[in-house]
Structure 1
Amino acid sequence: MIKKTAFTALILFISVAAGTQEEAYKVQQTFNMVAAKAKPAVVSLKVVREDAETFIEPEFFFGYIIPRERTYRYDTQGVGSGLIIDPEGHILTNYHVVEGASRIKVSVADAGGKEKTYMASFSGGDPALDLAVLKIHSNDRFPYLELEPLEAKVGDFALAVGYPFGFRQTFTSGIVSALNAGIKVEGRKYEKLIQTDAAINQGNSGGPLLNLNGRVIGVNAAIFSPSGAFAGMGFAIPASEVRSVLPDMLAGREVKRGWLGISLTALDPVMAARLGVKTTSGGIVNAVAKGSPAYEAGIARGDIITESDGEPIEKEEDLFYRTYTRRPGDIMELTIISGKLTKKQKIKLAERPGRDSSVIYTSGRADKVRPGHKSNAYSWEGLDLRFEEGGAVVERISADSKLFGYLKRGDTIRAVNRTTVGSFAEMPNVFDAVNLAEGVLFDIERDGDGMFISVLVPEGKGRRYKPGPKT
C-alpha cells in the first residue's frame, strides 16, 4: 500500500513538473516572438552636439603681450535608443537624448542582425514630457511598433529593449512594479511614470517598454540608482502620455498645454492653524487669472486646493505640472476647501496663454471694491503702517523688527490671520490680536502680486514662504 501511494505521488509530481515546464516554455516562446518583432524597430542613436568655449590667450605684437579672446568649437557625442512608430521612419525617443543635436545618426538592425545606418532630423518634441520625434532621411519602408491602447497594470510582464552604454541591442524582462511614480533626475521632473524592475541602463533612454503582445506600454526615460548603474528601479513614460502629444510632435507643432489660471503657495502648519483647517498638505490660492477656468469656476484667493484628480497636492509645483502636462479641454477634478466648506469641483482646462499674452491676475470672483479711505498711520512691531484703499501699506520697517526679512517697504497687508484690514479704525484690533510666538499668516500684495506669508517667531527668528508657479 505504501509503495502504491509513493508511486502515485511520483506520477503526480512528474505531471505537475511537466505542466510547469510546458507553461514556462510558452512564456519563453512569447519572449522570443516579442524580441523578434522589436529587433528591427528599435534603433540605436548616436548624437553629435556642437559646443564652444571661449578663452583669453596672450598674443605677441612688437614685443608687447596683448590679450585676445578666442572661441574654440568642438563636438561632443552621446548615445541613446529609439523606436520606429510608422513605416515612413518616424522615431520616438526622449527629448533629452537629442536635445541640442547638430547631427543624429540612426542604426537599424534587420532580423538577421545586420545594421544599416541613416541620418535623421528632429521633427518635434515636448521638453515637459521628455519626448521627441525624429525622421529618418530615407524613402525606405520600415518595420515599426504600435502603442498599446490599454493601460498597463501592476504585475504585468514588462520587456525593455535598447542599446545600453552604446552596446548591441539588448532585451531584458521584468514586471510593472508601480504606476504613477514620480522622480527628479538632473533637474528634470517626471510624473505619472511606469516603474519596472526590467533592467534599464544608460543608453536605454528612448527605447520601448513592451508587453507580451509586443506593443509599447512606455518609453524608457530614467533610472534611480545611487551608483549610476541599474538598481532594480527603472521608469518609463506611459503610452497614454505619448499618445496625447504625438500628433503635435509629428506635425512639428508646439504642444498645446492645459491651463487652470491660478497661483499657489504650499500650505504649512502655521498657515493651516491660522486658517483653521486640519490638513497641512495642499496649496493656498494666491491669485486667479481673470477669465481663466479657475476664475469662471468661482475659485478665489484664500481657497485651499488639497487634491487634483484624487492625487494629493503636496507642494506648489504639483498642480502646475499636472495642468501643464494636460491638454486644453481635459477635465480636472479639484478638491477645494473654501471657508468651512470642502467640495469637489470639475473644471475644463483652457489652452495655456503664450508668453507674450497679457494675463491679469486678481483675487478671483471674490474681489470686492472697497470705498476710498482717508490715509492714516499706525505703528506695530517695528512697522510704520499707513492705511490706504486695499489694506495697510508698510512705510518703513525697523532693522531690529521681528518681521524684518519677512515684510518689506511697499508691501500692502490686506489681511492678518484671515481678518481683513478694512479701515484705519480696524487696524489696532487686527494687529494687536497677533502673537508672533503662536504664528501669524499675512495676506499681502507685493509688486502687484498677491502672496501669503507665514511667520513664526518664538525667539526673533522665522521663515518666509514664497508663492509657487502660476498654473
Structure 2
Amino acid sequence: DKAPVGAHVIAIGSPLGEFQNTVTEGVVSAKGRRVQETANVFLEDMIQTDAAINPGNSGGPLIWVAAKQVVGMNTLVQVDPQTDTIAQGLGFAVSSNTIRDIANELITSGQIVRGFIGISYLPLTPRQAISLGLPATAGITIDSVVAGSPAAQAGLRPGDIITKVNDQQIDQQHPLTSIMAKTRPGDRARLTVIRGGQTQVIEVTLGRQQ
C-alpha cells in the first residue's frame, strides 16, 4: 500500500519462457485496479504498471526501487478485445498485501475461505456516483441476487446501490472483493444501501465462499 502512484519499479521475469532474469522498468501507473482476466473472472486490487510484462513474466516480482521492496507479483497484460493484441504499457501485478494474506491463511488452515454475500454487481459510473453525492469512483449497483443466498435472505434487490461495507467505502482503492477477502462465513456485514433515493443499513450474515 505504501508505494505511491509514480513510484519507480522494476519487473523481473522470464519473457517467453526463455530469457531468464530479464529486468524491465517503469512506474506504478495506478493502484486498486479491477481487471477482467476471463469472461467470468475479475482480479481485484491490482497494481497497474507500464513496466513491460510479457508472456512468461507471470510470477516474477514487481520491485519498488526506492524502498527495495517487493510490492507485487507480475500477473498479466491487458489485451485489446477488438484486435486481440497486447496493449503496450498496461501491465498488472497482484499486490504483495494480497499475496501475504493468502499465504498466511494457507499456512494456518490449508485452504482459502471467504465470506459470501451472493450478488453480481457493476461499478457505478462517475456520473452516477457524483449524482448521489459520492466520490467519482465509489459505489456498486447490484445486477443480480443469487436465490437463497445471504443477500436474498437479507432482502437485497437488483438495482440496490451499495456504498459501504462495515463503514468502509467501496471505491477503486477498496473494491468489494478486497473487503470481502477479510471476512469469514458467519460474520455479520453492515451494508450501506441506497434504494429509491433513500439510504439504509442492511445487515447480512455471510455464507461460505471458497
TM class, shorter-chain normalised? 0.5 to 0.7
State yes or no: 1:199 paired with 2:52: yes
Which residue of structure 2 lines up, in the alignment, with residue 246 of structure 1? 103
**AA paired with 1:304?**
D
Corresponding residue for residue 215 of structure 1: 69
TM-score, normalization by structure 2: 0.67
Structure 2 counterpart of 1:310, from 161, 170, 175: 170
Instruction: Please give the alpha-carbon distance, in whole angstroms, between the structure 1 residues aligned to 2:21 and 2:152.
Output: 48
* TM-score normalised by length of structure 1: 0.33
Q: Does 1:300 align with 2:160?
A: no
Seen in structure 2, the aligned counterparts of structure 1 residues 287 and 151 have a Cα distance that, compared at 3 Å, is same
Matches within 5 A, 1:152-301: 152-166=3-17, 167-187=19-39, 188-212=41-65, 213-226=67-80, 228=85, 231-250=88-107, 253-260=110-117, 262-263=118-119, 282-283=141-142, 286=145, 289=148, 292=150, 299-301=154-156
Residue aligned with 1:243, SS = helix
- Once the two structures are superposed, residues 137-192 of structure 1 have per-residue CA deviations (whole angstroms, 9 ceiling, x without a partner) of xxxxxxxxxxxxx4322111111111111212111111100111122234442121
Q: Deviations over 1:19-47 (max 9, x none)?
A: xxxxxxxxxxxxxxxxxxxxxxxxxxxxx
Alignment-mate amino acid for residue 3 of structure 2: A
Residue deviations 1:325-371 (CA, integer Å, cap 9, x gap): 4432888664312455214x4868745167xxxxxxxxxxxxxxxxx
Which amino acid in 1 is paired with 2:21? Answer: Q
Query: Is 2:35–2:43's contact at 8 Å kept on the other side of the alignment?
Result: yes
Where do 5+ consecutive residues of structure 2 fail to align?
123-130, 133-139
| 1:265 to partner: Cα distance | 7.3
Give 1:307's aligned amino acid: T
- Contact kept? 1:332, 1:348, Cα under 8 Å: yes
Please list every run of 5 or more consecutive structure 1 residues that lacks an aligned counterpart in the other structure: 1-149, 267-277, 313-317, 355-471
Q: 1:248-300: CA deviations, max 9, x gaps?
A: 3345712011223x44577xxxxxxxxxxx88x7126746758x5885xxx42
CA RMSD of aligned residues (A): 3.8
SS at match of 1:198: coil
Conserved? CA contact 1:159–1:211, under 8 Å: yes
- Which runs of structure 2 are paired with 1:71-82 in the superposition (5 Å)? none
How far apart, CA to CA, are the structure 2 residues paired with 1:338 and 1:174?
43
- Which whole-Å deviations, capped at 9, do the CAs of 1:100-137 have from their partners, x for residues lacking one? xxxxxxxxxxxxxxxxxxxxxxxxxxxxxxxxxxxxxx
Question: Percent identical across equivalent pairs?
Answer: 28
3-state SS of 2:68 partner: coil
- Report the AA paired with residue 337 of structure 1: I
| Partner SS state of residue 161, structure 2 | strand
Amino acid across the alignment from 1:201: N
CA contact (8 A) 1:163 1:169 kept: yes
Contact 2:193-2:202 at 8 Å conserved across structures: no
Alignment partner, residue 116 of structure 1? none
How many residue pairs get aligned? The number is 182
Match of 1:335, as an amino acid? T
Label 1:236 to 1:286 Cα distance change in 2 as closer, same or farther (>3 A). closer
Aligned CA distance change for structure 1 residues 180 and 333 (closer, same or farther; 3 Å): farther
Alignment of 1:434-453 (within 5 A): none
Within 2, Cα distance between the matches of 1:265 and 1:175? 31
Distance in 2 (CA, whole Å) between partners of 1:217 and 1:323 is: 19
